Structure 1
Amino acid sequence: MPVPARLPSWAWVTGLTVGAIAAVTVLGVQADRGSHPTATSAKPSGTASAQPTPTASAPARVPDGSGTGRRVVYSLGEKRVWLVDASEATRRTFTVWPGSVSPDPGTYTVSSRNAATTGSDGVQIEHIMYFAAKDGVSVAFSNAVDGASPPPAASGTKTGGVRMRKADGTALWAFGTVGTTVTVVK
């Protein structure tokens, strides 16, 4: 009785590789056809403070008087940030934890960025984007490296950090390059 011919191992590997690439391509096309959210309502993984967590409900509109064009809008009263593109569409909105020093309402620009450092409160932070100064304190957006989002103000300490959740910090870092407009409203 004749022995059936065996396929060489390279043929098996090639066949499996082609099949895997085809499957990944089909899944990628299907995923691209799905919805693409522009805002997040994820809660932080934990807090290091007894202070309340900002609410996740997102206002439908960017505040009036926040300018036009591509910009970051920061509402002091709502403790919320909007990332607005050049077509006036909100790409993302999220709540923040402001420090003890807040900038005055007005228009600023991102003046510098720092990938990571230690905040004045001793917390390891990343995605630091400086945009204002008040009373000798630099005001900047940032997020805690460990994902916790406590308010950056320690008792009696002047801090200008505007903290946010890690995913929001990553999105803001990608959106806000040096020179990006930041509009602060009441």
Structure 2
Amino acid sequence: MGPGVVVTGLTLGALAVVSLLAFQASGAQDRAGGARPTTTTAATSTGPVASATPSASATPTVPPLPTSSGSGTRVVYSVSSHYVWLIDPKKNPQVAATFQVSPGTVEPTPGSYSVYSRTPVGTGTDGRQIEHVVRFAQQNGVVFGFSSAMDGSTPTADPKTKTGGIRSGRADGQLLWDFAPNGTKVVVVA
């Protein structure tokens, strides 16, 4: 089987999943009494695709992008809300994705950084297998970066361990990995 067949199969599979999710979301919207959908993203082999998800009481309210988040293409991380925004000013809307994360036991100092290292897979300080590691800062011996656990968990960090690992779900980790190659600006806000 050639690589073209594999890529075509993956693309068709991704489109089928996105279509199914959009269909389910439209039905859920009707069941929720016509609640307005919010925009999230789903990864496909061709990049992020917007899809609708119902706004419900179980869905956390996404805080607005902090005004102090700078400009240009960037990853924004809020220490207080533990949210990440992926911003691409060349796109409409500029917010490519937003998702909640679980912080490590140490938070990075607010400021502007750049992605300096990426690792596809590894082991976190908690011993879990992780993927999509995107590192952006080192402070007082602590390395700060985003990652996702391969088992899909986002556990609370052990307070006895000094870690700067910021965990997301696997789908969000993939989005960040695809969005933030080395040199991408990371803005940490309070």
Residue 178 of structure 2 aligns with which residue? 174
TM-aligned CA deviation for residue 40 of structure 1: 5.6
Whose strand fraction is larger, Structure 1's or Structure 2's? 2
The yes-or-no answer on 1:183 pairing with 2:184 is no
The 10-residue stretch of structure 1 (81-90 or 142-151) with the greater mean CA deviation from structure 2: 81-90
Counterpart residue type for residue 77 of structure 2: Y
**Max Rg structure:** 1
Instruction: Please give the secondary structure, in 2, of the residue aligned with 1:168.
Output: helix
Structure 2 counterparts to residues 78-157 of structure 1, below 5 A: 78-87=81-90, 89-151=94-156, 153-157=157-161
Q: Deviations over 1:33-74 (max 9, x none)?
A: x89x85269xxxxxxxxxxxxx73212x31011100100000
Structure 2 counterparts to residues 36-115 of structure 1, below 5 A: 38-39=39-40, 56-59=60-63, 61-87=64-90, 89-115=94-120
Greater relative CO, 1 or 2 (CA 8 Å, sep 6+): 1
Residue 4 of structure 2 aligns with which residue? none
2: CA distance between counterparts of 1:114 and 1:99?
18
| Paired residues of 1:71 and 1:182 also in contact (CA < 8 A) | yes
How many residues align structurally?
Answer: 141
Counterpart residue type for residue 77 of structure 1: S
1: CA distance between counterparts of 2:167 and 2:60?
15
Q: Deviations over 1:109-133 (max 9, x none)?
A: 0001000101011011000000011
**Distance change in 2, residues 1:110/1:154 (3 Å):** same
Runs of 5+ in structure 1 lacking a partner?
1-23, 42-54
TM-aligned CA deviation for residue 86 of structure 1: 2.6
Alignment RMSD: 2.4
Counterpart residue type for residue 40 of structure 2: A
2: CA distance between counterparts of 1:117 and 1:56?
30
Q: Which runs of 4+ in 1 moved over 3 A?
A: none
2: CA distance between counterparts of 1:38 and 1:182?
22
| Paired residues of 1:38 and 1:91 also in contact (CA < 8 A) | no
Q: Percent identity?
A: 48
Residue 4 of structure 1 aligns with which residue? none
Instruction: Please give the secondary structure, in 1, of the residue aligned with 2:40.
Output: coil
Instruction: Give the TM-score taking structure 2 as reference length.
Output: 0.68
TM-aligned CA deviation for residue 175 of structure 1: 0.2
1: CA distance between counterparts of 2:162 and 2:68?
28
